[in-house]
């Protein structure tokens, strides 16, 4: 690629406010030294811009050059959206060019003009540091010009040298560089053409560039592109922006939104009819059934170059009935599919997939501030620490940042503190309702795995957790892959399970909602206060299936107020994990399949403990000397004194 290190965030564009205020008369202003480039590179670039319909100002075409830079030229720079600055070997020898560049930098700061530097067979570091030919040039300038003017030129060159741009080298044809520049300018002009779509969007630019590059619109083949991520990450927003940007490149186009919801409510025939009607602009089209719809899509769209977005697809049969084969559509067609299920995309054999990831901190802060303070800058000092808490809580999820920011808008610092405590305990339903769609679509065993990870195993080592889940009869290999495919889980390079913090909270909330007012009637317990409440009152006998008791074992001054014997009555308890020194009950539930007890305080297990169900036993850093005093038949598949969650 000739375009190197292009900035990939929304700051690359003029802000919506500056775009609205400025009165652009030109799309592009070309800055160059005529003797170096007028009759070769600049001439070819200018012709390419004009042929593309991009209104371009080129000073030797529009103005007679004088000895000093004219007011008309300054005016033309200020009325241009973009400046392409072609810095050649002798560019800095021209006082005219340097004055031009200084004013371009001024407009960048004042009006949000976007600059694309083209390093015309020169090293950008020489420009930044004013070395090589630039060093001698400035020595000569300092002998003739006043110091203030020369320093202004130096600063302008340093700034443009630090910008990402196009570096021409003798390693490929200039026509390829010009093609890249044309693509960059065209993309930025498309973005600027849709302020009503992009006005309130943050961090969209890098995603937009990456997704549009996957479309490869100039290619004549048919391409299916899958866009996937967890709910609330901005898949639909991204697809809609790119759809509006590139739709005019196609004969016809259609955006079918909420495929999952609409197919459940109205069936697939209605979606087929909408698709064909949008493309063919026929309002009286009748489809008898979904098979008739398939035939009509294949037969009537196979010669049209179309752009189609199928938004929020969650089942393969939706694709089978709307966009199954490449030959259903004409050459050059592009089909974008947004989903939470990457495995479905692989099964459909899409040509490319694109994962939408969470916002970086800078963009997350900007988005949150735009909702919480109605501005894009760092929040007031009194709110800064609390804003960082929200950002940590949202973990880059745009939906959460918008909902929480809007919720906190206009509230005092006192109310913010109260609201943050409430959010931690009772997260906003608008966020969970979106996230839970993916959970609701899971099979029962996969739901069990999800809830176990959310309540006990997030940020733990995969291999050991697979052992635990397998011991519970949950077939974790396929289950974990399902969670990964549906954007509910990741496994990092070190083999650690990573579930988004809000998904973890959602899972815990699902368990709490099993019985909001009685923790003894929930399937899983992990909070010490809930466990203490259950065991104090001898509750949880029927419902509790999994429990993790975490206690600082060095805290000898605080004794438990409950009897460990209450655990023995939980006859449905399958998973018990204890981290700390507690009294050993005389009995353990015979239903246990996994027992993990760090710092187990006794030298043997209770003699009454039956082994009918036990599959895994971990007693790391314990006082155990022998498992049982008398002889027992052991069916346990895993016994360890080293591993624990």
| Per-residue pLDDT reduced to its tens digit, 433-492 | 888 888 998 999 999 999 999 999 999 999 999 999 999 999 999 999 999 998 899 998
Note the pLDDT of residue 11: 39
3 state SS of 490: strand
Cα–Cα dist 384/398, whole Å: 19
Asked if residue 40 is part of any domain, the answer here is: yes
- Given CA atoms 432, 433, 438, 440 in this order, what sign does their dihedral have? positive
Question: What is the 3-class SS of 621-635, one letter each residue?
Answer: CCCCCCCCCCCCCCC
Q: Where does the pLDDT of residue 199 fall: very low under 50, low under 70, confident under 90, or very high at 90 and above?
A: low
User: Which pair of structure tokens corresponds to residue 341?
Assistant: 């299920």
Note the pLDDT of residue 555: 43
**Statement to judge: residues 608 and 591 lie in one domain:** yes
Strands 638-640 vs 223-228: parallel, antiparallel or unpaired: unpaired
**Statement to judge: residues 317 and 339 lie in one domain:** yes
Residues in the chain: 645
**Statement to judge: residues 349 and 372 lie in one domain:** no
**Of 458, 491, 513, which closes a domain?**
513
Cα–Cα dist 276/273, whole Å: 5
Residue 630 has pLDDT above 70, yes or no: no
User: Which pair of structure tokens corresponds to residue 622?
Assistant: 């314990």
3 state SS of 185: helix
**Statement to judge: residues 547 and 630 lie in one domain:** yes
Window from 31-40, 85-94, 189-198 with minimum mean pLDDT: 189-198
Contact 364, 10 (CB under 8 A): no
**Statement to judge: residues 60 and 109 lie in one domain:** yes
Q: What angle do CA 545, 547, 551 make, to 5 degrees?
A: 170
The Cα-based distances of 370 to 363, 393, 400, 589 in angstroms read 11, 17, 13, 54
Residues with catalytic function: 100
Asked if residue 620 is part of any domain, the answer here is: yes
The most confident of 103-112, 376-385, 576-585, by mean pLDDT: 103-112
Q: Which helix (H) or strand (E) holds 28?
A: strand 26-31
Spatial CA neighbour of 104 closest among 143, 130, 78: 78
Window from 92-101, 164-173, 512-521 with minimum mean pLDDT: 164-173
Report the CATH number at residue 259: 3.40.50.300
Contact 239, 305 (CB under 8 A): no
Q: Where does the pLDDT of residue 432 fall: very low under 50, low under 70, confident under 90, or very high at 90 and above?
A: confident
| Per-residue pLDDT reduced to its tens digit, 361-420 | 888 888 888 888 887 566 777 888 898 888 988 888 998 888 888 888 888 889 988 888
Spatial CA neighbour of 389 closest among 404, 374, 406: 404
**Of 492, 513, 534, which closes a domain?**
513
**Statement to judge: residues 502 and 526 lie in one domain:** no
Note the pLDDT of residue 556: 45
How many structural domains compose the chain? 5
Asked if residue 20 is part of any domain, the answer here is: yes
Q: Where does the pLDDT of residue 645 fall: very low under 50, low under 70, confident under 90, or very high at 90 and above?
A: very low
Share of the chain above pLDDT 70, in %: 87
**Statement to judge: residues 368 and 262 lie in one domain:** no
**Statement to judge: residues 287 and 435 lie in one domain:** no
pLDDT higher for 603 or 491?
491
**Of 136, 164, 192, which closes a domain?**
192
pLDDT higher for 261 or 638?
261
Report the CATH number at residue 77: 3.40.50.10140
**Statement to judge: residues 380 and 438 lie in one domain:** no
Q: What angle do CA 348, 479, 340 make, to 5 degrees?
A: 45
**Statement to judge: residues 40 and 185 lie in one domain:** yes
Can you name the residues that pair with 306 across neighbouring β-strands? 252
User: By residue range, what is the domain housing residue 487?
Assistant: 427-513
| Per-residue pLDDT reduced to its tens digit, 275-333 | 999 999 887 888 999 999 999 999 999 999 999 999 999 999 999 999 999 999 999 99
Asked if residue 199 is part of any domain, the answer here is: no
- Helix, strand, coil fractions of the chain, as percent rounded to 5: 50, 15, 40
Note the pLDDT of residue 41: 92
Number of Cβ atoms within 10 Å of the Cβ of 317: 12
Spatial CA neighbour of 465 closest among 495, 508, 490, 510: 495
Note the pLDDT of residue 587: 79
Asked if residue 42 is part of any domain, the answer here is: yes
Cα–Cα dist 268/263, whole Å: 5
**Statement to judge: residues 183 and 287 lie in one domain:** no
**Statement to judge: residues 213 and 333 lie in one domain:** yes
Cα–Cα dist 70/434, whole Å: 58
């Amino acid at each position: 690629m000739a375009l190197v290190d292009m900035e990939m965030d929304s700051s690359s564009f003029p802000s919506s406010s500056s775009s609205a205020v400025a009165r652009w008369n030109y799309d592009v202003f070309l800055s160059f030294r005529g003797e170096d480039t007028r009759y070769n590179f600049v001439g070819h670039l200018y012709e390419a811009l004009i042929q593309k319909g991009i209104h371009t100002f080129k000073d030797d075409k529009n103005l007679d050059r004088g000895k000093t830079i004219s007011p008309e030229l300054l005016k033309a720079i200020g009325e241009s959206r973009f400046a392409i600055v072609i810095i050649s070997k002798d560019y800095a020898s021209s006082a005219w060019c340097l004055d031009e560049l200084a004013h371009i930098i001024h407009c960048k700061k004042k009006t949000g003009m976007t600059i694309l530097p083209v390093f015309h067979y020169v090293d950008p570091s020489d420009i930044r540091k004013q070395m090589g030919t630039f060093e001698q040039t400035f020595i000569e300038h300092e002998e003739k010009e006043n110091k203030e003017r020369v320093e202004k030129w130096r600063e302008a060159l340093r700034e443009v040298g630090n910008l990402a741009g196009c570096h021409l080298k003798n390693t490929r044809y200039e026509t390829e560089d010009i093609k890249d520049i044309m693509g960059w300018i065209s993309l930025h002009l498309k973005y600027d053409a849709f302020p009503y779509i992009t006005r309130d969007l943050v961090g969209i630019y890098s995603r937009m560039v990456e997704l549009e590059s996957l479309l490869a619109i100039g290619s004549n083949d048919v391409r299916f592109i899958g866009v996937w991520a967890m709910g609330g990450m901005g898949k639909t927003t991204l697809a809609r922006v790119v759809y509006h940007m590139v739709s005019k490149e196609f004969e016809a186009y259609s955006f079918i939104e909420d495929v999952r919801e609409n197919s459940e409510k109205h069936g697939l025939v209605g979606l087929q009819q909408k698709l064909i009607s949008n493309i063919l602009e026929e309002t009286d089209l009748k489809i008898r059934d979904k098979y008739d719809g398939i035939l009509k899509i294949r037969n009537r769209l196979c010669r049209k170059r179309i752009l189609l977005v199928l938004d929020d697809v969650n089942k393969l049969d939706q694709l089978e009935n709307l966009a199954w084969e490449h030959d259903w559509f004409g050459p050059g067609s592009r089909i974008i599919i947004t989903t939470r299920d990457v495995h479905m995309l692989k099964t459909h054999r899409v040509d490319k997939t694109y994962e939408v990831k969470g916002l970086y901190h800078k963009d997350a802060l900007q988005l949150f501030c735009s909702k919480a303070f109605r501005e894009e800058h760092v929040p007031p000092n009194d709110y800064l620490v609390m804003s960082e808490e929200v950002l940590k809580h949202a973990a880059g999820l745009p939906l959460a940042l918008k909902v929480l920011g809007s919720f906190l808008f206009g509230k005092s610092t006192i109310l913010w503190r109260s609201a943050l405590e409430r959010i931690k305990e009772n997260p906003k339903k608008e966020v969970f309702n979106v996230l839970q769609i993916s959970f609701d679509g899971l099979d029962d065993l996969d739901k069990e795995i999800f809830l176990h990870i959310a309540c006990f195993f997030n940020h733990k080592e995969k291999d050991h957790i697979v052992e635990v889940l397998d011991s519970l009869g949950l077939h974790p290999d396929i289950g974990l892959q399902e969670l990964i495919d549906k954007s509910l889980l990741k496994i990092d390079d070190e083999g650690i399970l990573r579930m988004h913090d809000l998904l973890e909270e959602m899972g815990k909330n699902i368990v709490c909602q099993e019985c909001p007012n009685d923790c003894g009637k929930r399937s899983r317990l992990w909070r010490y206060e809930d466990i203490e409440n259950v065991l104090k009152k001898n509750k949880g006998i029927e419902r509790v299936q999994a429990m993790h008791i975490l206690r600082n074992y060095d805290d000898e001054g605080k004794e438990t107020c409950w009897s460990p014997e209450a655990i023995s009555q939980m006859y449905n308890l399958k998973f018990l994990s204890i981290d700390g020194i507690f009294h050993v009950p005389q009995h353990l539930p015979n239903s246990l399949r996994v027992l993990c007890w760090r710092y187990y305080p006794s030298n043997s297990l209770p003699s009454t403990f039956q082994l009918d169900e036990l599959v895994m036993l971990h007693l790391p850093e314990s006082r155990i000397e022998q498992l049982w005093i008398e002889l027992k038949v052991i069916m346990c598949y895993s016994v360890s004194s080293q591993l624990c969650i």
